[in-house]
């Protein structure tokens, strides 16, 4: 079920992909993007729109297709279906230009362990004409990175900090973080994300964050997408998603009417004690109004945080109803 909250809310309709269109308001856009590895479909008909200047979190379980999607966006692997644009450029024809404007931090960063931190920074500085020396010096001082220490001798946390500096040094328009805090302790994770958000917020740059740490995504991101088994099942503004994903607990006098269970906003109905627990999505007030009109002894509307929404969609094999035509 590919539910685009922004489209449903009327923010903007589906766009027709144009590889070189100057979509100033969109940093990343994919159209039916897909990738197969042999007989395995890793990414399936992905339609994703990341607003420029947003902090977008792509979340999903391990093996959901997050890293494969990122590698296609950067031109590191080729899609087997569909297309995409990054910063208005086509990923197939302009991958070199895209990589020159994108900072990328991956879970396991490849570095030369025999070089010192200072030598690594000097080496990378020669590769990027837009390298920001002042910014890099500030980060090194803030992180307390020892410039004379060999990269191979750095701790996991220091390597992650160095990777962030290398990604931000060329002054990118888009920062892509693929599980950047994996393996870090909670304190280091907090420091890392606070630094990223503190630097990026208000600059007009875009952050695309892939993670399975749902609490940190909810804390720092303003837009999210949920991907599972290669399919995007929910996408949009985090505030809109939380406003339009609710549960209702109700005890009725009699069975729940079939007409309510068939409403398009009703995703799941679970018997619970003497009543029901109903998951609803979209125009939630329409369902709640219908439920209030029923003879009942108890009715409660339940807000959900991002982790609860994620688990409701992804947490169990039967957590989603079969998509209806047009969803």
How far, in Å, are 38, 47, 131, 266, 315 from residue 4 at the CA level? 29, 9, 37, 16, 20
Q: When comparing pLDDT for 227 and 143, which is higher? A: 227
Q: When comparing pLDDT for 116 and 182, which is higher? A: 116
Confidence of residue 228 (pLDDT cuts 50, 70, 90): very high
Average pLDDT over all residues of the chain: 86
240, 262, 296 — which closes off a domain? 240
How far, in Å, are 229, 242, 278, 284 from residue 263 at the CA level? 26, 20, 12, 11
Query: In this structure, is residue 165 part of a structural domain?
Result: yes
Main-chain dihedrals φ then ψ at residue 94, nearest 5 degrees: -125, 35
CATH of the domain at 8: 3.40.50.300
Sheet holding 245-252, edge to edge: 266-272, 275-281, 245-252, 296-303
Instruction: Please tell me the total count of domains within the chain.
Output: 2
Same domain (yes/no): 197, 283: no
The pLDDT score that the predictor gives to residue 106 is 85
Query: In this structure, is residue 12 part of a structural domain?
Result: yes
Print the domain residue range for 258: 244-314
Question: Pairing relation of β-strands 102-105 and 174-178?
Answer: parallel
Query: In this structure, is residue 172 part of a structural domain?
Result: yes
pLDDT tens, position by position, 171-205: 899 999 998 877 777 887 887 787 777 777 678 88
pLDDT tens, position by position, 243-267: 999 999 999 988 899 999 999 999 9
Query: In this structure, is residue 149 part of a structural domain?
Result: yes
The pLDDT score that the predictor gives to residue 317 is 41
């Amino acid at each position: 079920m590919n539910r685009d909250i922004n489209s449903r809310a009327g923010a903007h309709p589906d766009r027709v992909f144009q590889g070189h269109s100057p979509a100033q308001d969109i940093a990343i856009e994919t159209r039916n993007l897909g990738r197969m590895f042999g007989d395995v479909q890793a990414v399936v008909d992905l339609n994703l729109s990341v607003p420029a200047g947003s902090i977008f979190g792509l979340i999903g379980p391990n093996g959901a297709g997050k890293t494969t999607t990122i590698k296609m966006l950067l031109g590191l692997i080729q899609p087997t279906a569909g297309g995409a644009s990054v910063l208005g450029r086509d990923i197939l024809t302009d991958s070199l230009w895209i990589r020159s404007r994108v900072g990328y931090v991956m879970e396991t960063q490849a570095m030369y362990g025999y070089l010192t931190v200072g030598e690594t920074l000097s080496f990378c500085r020669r590769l990027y004409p837009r390298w920001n020396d002042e910014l890099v010096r500030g980060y090194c001082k803030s992180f307390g990175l020892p410039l004379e220490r060999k990269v191979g001798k750095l701790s996991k946390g220091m390597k992650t900090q160095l990777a962030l500096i290398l990604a931000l040094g060329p002054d990118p328009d888009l920062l892509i973080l693929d599980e950047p805090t994996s393996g870090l302790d909670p304190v280091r994770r907090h420091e890392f994300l606070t630094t990223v958000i503190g630097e990026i917020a208000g600059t007009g740059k875009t952050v695309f964050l892939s993670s399975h740490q749902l609490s940190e995504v909810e804390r720092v991101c303003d837009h999210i997408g949920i991907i599972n088994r290669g399919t995007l099942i929910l996408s949009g503004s985090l505030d809109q998603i939380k406003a339009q994903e609710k549960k209702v607990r109700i005890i009725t006098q009699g069975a729940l009417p079939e007409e309510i269970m068939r409403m398009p906003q009703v995703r799941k109905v679970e018997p619970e004690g003497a009543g029901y627990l109903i998951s609803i999505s979209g125009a939630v007030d329409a369902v709640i109004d219908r439920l209030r009109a029923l003879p009942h002894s108890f009715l409660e509307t339940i807000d959900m945080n991002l982790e609860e929404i994620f688990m409701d969609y992804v947490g169990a094999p039967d957590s989603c109803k079969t998509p209806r035509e047009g969803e």
